[in-house]
Chains A and B, each alone.
Chain A
């Protein structure tokens, strides 16, 4: 072993995000410019970096989650795309996505790694671990 890194995930690849949505049974709504949320900012949590109150509810694409009243907004920001969602319990998203949207992040990360690893000639083996998934990459030409 040579080194271990911990990574804070950024969504940069929309194609991988679309595949992740399909894997989870979510619907990627290309070009949908609003997403459903509580509808009024009550100041109980800080706004995402670089956003104003007027930006809430607006997006460039959205994700519909079956069984949830609220939706996920996708908006350019940071180093790629921001996933915006209201975790208020009555919206139903946290039940489907897990805390901090973990299930969608995991699914996106899996797809993003698999796509790029295959492009670079790596063989990818996937196994389920106690708390997640493990992708084993061998070979590679890049």
Chain B
């Protein structure tokens, strides 16, 4: 699948960047130039592909519930 980066610029000036078909951390690395160009990242949502390594196995991440 072809890698794509979508930049949505709303009429009120709000900007959203979405990466598609990247695996692992490459999505963050390959879109960093856009964040540097446009300003400051105020929110980030990681999608399941972020935790996938080179199209292979999904790496399960566990977050502590407390403590």
- For the complex, what is the distance from the CA of A10 to the CA of B41, rounded to whole Å? 11
User: A-B pairs with CB below 8 Å: how many?
Assistant: 148
Interface residues on B, range: 35 or more
Q: Does B58 contact A (CB under 8 A)?
A: no
Q: A109 to B13, Cβ gap below 8 A?
A: yes
- For the complex, what is the distance from the CA of A100 to the CA of B14, rounded to whole Å? 10
Q: Does B56 contact A (CB under 8 A)?
A: no
- For the complex, what is the distance from the CA of A13 to the CA of B37, rounded to whole Å? 8
Q: Does A99 contact B (CB under 8 A)?
A: yes
Q: Does B59 contact A (CB under 8 A)?
A: no
Most chain A beta carbons < 10 A, residue from B4, B21, B37:
B37
Interface residues on A, range: 35 or more
Q: B16 to A116, Cβ gap below 8 A?
A: no
Interface membership of chain A positions 114-141, coded 1 if the CB is closer than 8 angstroms to chain B and 0 otherwise: 0010001010000001011111111010
In the complex, chain B residues whose CB is within 8 Å of the CB of A135 = 6-9
Q: B34 to A113, Cβ gap below 8 A?
A: yes
Q: Does A40 contact B (CB under 8 A)?
A: no
Q: Does A110 contact B (CB under 8 A)?
A: yes
In the complex, chain A residues whose CB is within 8 Å of the CB of B5 = 122, 136-138
Chain A residue nearest in CB terms to B51? A2
Q: B19 to A100, Cβ gap below 8 A?
A: no
Q: A-side interface residues toward B, CB under 8 Å? A: 1-10, 12-13, 79, 98-106, 109-110, 112-113, 116, 120, 122, 129, 131-138, 140, 142
Q: Other than A8-B42, A133-B8, A136-B6, give 15 A-B pairs with Cβ distance below 8 A.
A: A2-B49, A5-B35, A6-B41, A7-B38, A12-B39, A103-B11, A103-B13, A106-B11, A116-B34, A129-B8, A131-B10, A132-B8, A132-B11, A135-B7, A140-B30
